[in-house]
Amino acid sequence: MAPIAVGAALPDGSLSYFDAEDNLQQVSIHSLAAGKKVILFGVPGAFTPTCSLKHVPGFIEKAGELKSKGVDEIICISVNDPFVMKAWAKTYPENKDVKFLADGSATYTHALGLELDLSEKGLGTRSRRFALLVEDLKVKAANVESGGEFTVSSADDIVKAL
C-alpha cells in the first residue's frame, strides 16, 4: 500500500491509551480529528533516542505556537502497547498538549501505509517517522521520513506548513 499523501482522506482506526483515572481506553482517530485541525505524528518507538530527545520534545515545545495557529489536537502514535506509551508520556511532565496513543499491533500504521519492517534489528514492524497535518479528515501536509532520518517531520516543519 502506498503511504498516505496530501489530499487523501485520513483513514479511521482505533488506538489505545490510559485516561487520567488510569483506565485503558480505545479512541477512534475520526472522533479526535473530524471537524478539526490536527497533527498526527508517528515515531518508530517509545524511548528510542531520536524519538525521545528530538521528535516528541519539539512538539511539546511548539504546542503553544501550533495551537495559536488553529491546531486543535497534537497526537503522537507509536507501535507500542499502551503501558509503554503511558510510561513514556510520564517522562515529559511539562507536556499538557500532546496525546500519546498506542498502535500495539500496527493496524493503524498499516492503514496509513507507513509501516517499517525493522525485523533485522529485532524490532519487528514499526512506524516510519512522520508528521501529518490534517484538516477535517483531509491530509494537508504529509511529511514522511526515509529510513531512520529526521529531516522533514519535526514540529518546525509542521509550523511551516500551517
Return the pLDDT at 51: 83
Give the residue among 66, 46, 40 at the shortest CA–CA distance from 142.
40
Of the residues 43, 51, 134, 155, only one is catalytic, namely 51
Please check the confidence at residue 113 and state whether its pLDDT lies above 80. Answer: yes
pLDDT in tens, 75-96: 999 999 999 999 999 999 999 9
Residue type (1 letter), 6: V
pLDDT in tens, 11-70: 999 999 999 899 999 999 999 999 999 999 999 989 988 888 899 999 999 999 999 999
How do the domains of the chain map onto residue ranges?
13-161
Report pTM. Answer: 0.94
* Strand partners of residue 99: 75
CB atoms within 10 A of CB 77: 24
Q: Which residue has the higher pLDDT, 125 or 108?
A: 108
**Quick one: fold of 13-161?**
Glutaredoxin (3.40.30)
Q: Clarify whether 51 is annotated catalytic.
A: yes
Return the pLDDT at 48: 86
Return the pLDDT at 49: 83
